[in-house]
Structure 1
Amino acid sequence: MKKMLPWLITILVSITLIVLVVFLLSDKLLGGDDKQAAPIKQEEPVMTADEIVEVTSELVDITTNMSDPSYIAKISFAFQLSDKKAKEDFDKIKEIRIKPIIIKTLMDTKPESLKDSKGVEQLTKVLQDEINKNVKQGEVVQVDVTNKLVTGI
């Protein structure tokens, strides 16, 4: 028994150390604390009303057929751009580049999808993505529907 005592003590100390290490490293091994793992959100700078107006462009009363030919849509949009230079460039191309994108998107849209806010939100996201592909200077940060009429013919 005396010969086994040092071995037993060594095994117990080893097991204790292994358990201690696993306990201390379990946070890192299993994904860590949620506070540390969550991405840090960067707060967007709050813009004043005047600053928003300076970087916002409008396209008013775009009228087109929808995917169902017995329906038409008449919609107005407000586009908030990243800066003044982007707005100036956007204003130059909005009738010749942006308006056709909107018309094509509306022609592919079903009238039922614009009856609720989720459908309108989806339309604005699609438009934002498509328009950002065509804007060379800056980007469209937000698209808002300022007026909407969807009616049967």
Structure 2
Amino acid sequence: MFKNKIFILIVSILIAITLILTAAFILWNFMEKNSQSKDPATQAKDAVASVKPTKAPSAEAVKANTAIIKDILTNLSGSQNFIKISFAFELENSKAKTEFDSLLDSAVKGTIVQTLGDMTKEQIDGSKGSDNLTSTLMNKINPLLQQGKIKQIWITDKVLQ
């Protein structure tokens, strides 16, 4: 009697495994046929159609959300070189701009001076140096902002001596 129960249990388990594998195989084939039925051009069209277009901000909105910092003059690291530089910070929204303006005199300018003081002339020189500086500033200033983030930083004037 004990052997019959074990035999029935084993057969039941094998039938369950067979049914699960059959269902998985059928589902796999069904999914594969659906993905192959569309050619790449149709798939690309579908992908483009599903993307919601975003409206580019107007020039007035960009100007309203941009903060200007002019003529920061500081020494560079490890030499007698100095830099005089100006920036334009584009922020996500007006709340971020207001918050940025309130931090401008203390935290933002202090972060800029500290970052420039840690850099050498070779690190700032050229377009790669400008990109390095703006990305470093963005990474240091964005955590200070709670109402939004900096979208873009432009160097509007740079004199490296």
Q: TM-score, normalization: structure 1?
A: 0.70
Q: Within 5 A, what are the aligned runs for 1:19-58? A: 45-58=55-68
1:42/1:66 CA distance change after superposition, 3 Å: farther
1:67 aligned to 2:87? no
In structure 2, the CA distance between the partners of 1:44 and 1:123, relative to structure 1 (3 Å rule), is: farther
Aligned partners of 1:122 and 1:63: how far apart in 2?
19
> 1: distance between equivalents of 2:149 and 2:110?
18
Conserved 8 A contact 1:68-1:111: no
Residue 85 of structure 1 aligns to which amino acid in structure 2? K
**How far apart are 1:137 and its partner, in Å?**
1.4
C-alpha change, 1:57 and 1:71, in structure 2 (3 Å) is same
CA contact (8 A) 1:102 1:127 kept: yes
Q: Which residue of 2 aligns with 1:93?
A: 103
Instruction: Choose the corresponding residue for 1:139, options 143, 149, 152.
Output: 149
> What is the identity, as a one-letter code, of the residue corresponding to 2:103?
I
CA displacement at 1:112 relative to structure 2: 1.4
Q: 1:116 maps to what in 2?
A: 126
Aligned-partner residue type, residue 46 of structure 1 = A
**TM-score under structure 2 normalisation?**
0.67
Task: For residue 51 of structure 1, give the secondary structure of its aligned residue in structure 2.
Answer: helix
Unpaired runs of 5+ in structure 1? 1-20
Q: Secondary structure at the match of 2:109?
A: helix
Is 1:126 aligned with 2:131?
no
Q: Deviations over 1:10-61 (max 9, x none)?
A: xxxxxxxxxxx7xx69x99xxxx8x69xxx9876531221111100001111
User: How many equivalent residue pairs?
Assistant: 123
Q: By how many angstroms is 1:148 displaced? A: 0.3
**In 1, Cα distance between equivalents of 2:158 and 2:51:** 33
Secondary structure of the equivalent of 1:146? Answer: strand
Give the SS at the match of 1:47.
coil
Identical positions, percent: 32
Q: Cα distance 1:41–1:131, how it changes in 2: closer, same or farther (>3 A)? A: farther
4+ long deviations beyond 2 Å: 40-45
- Residue 93 of structure 2 is matched in structure 1 by 83
Alpha-carbon distance in structure 2 between the residues aligned to 1:55 and 1:113: 29
Q: CA RMSD in A?
A: 2.7
| Cα distance, 1:62 vs structure 2 | 0.6
The unaligned stretches of length 5 or more in structure 2 are 1-28
Greater fraction helix? 2
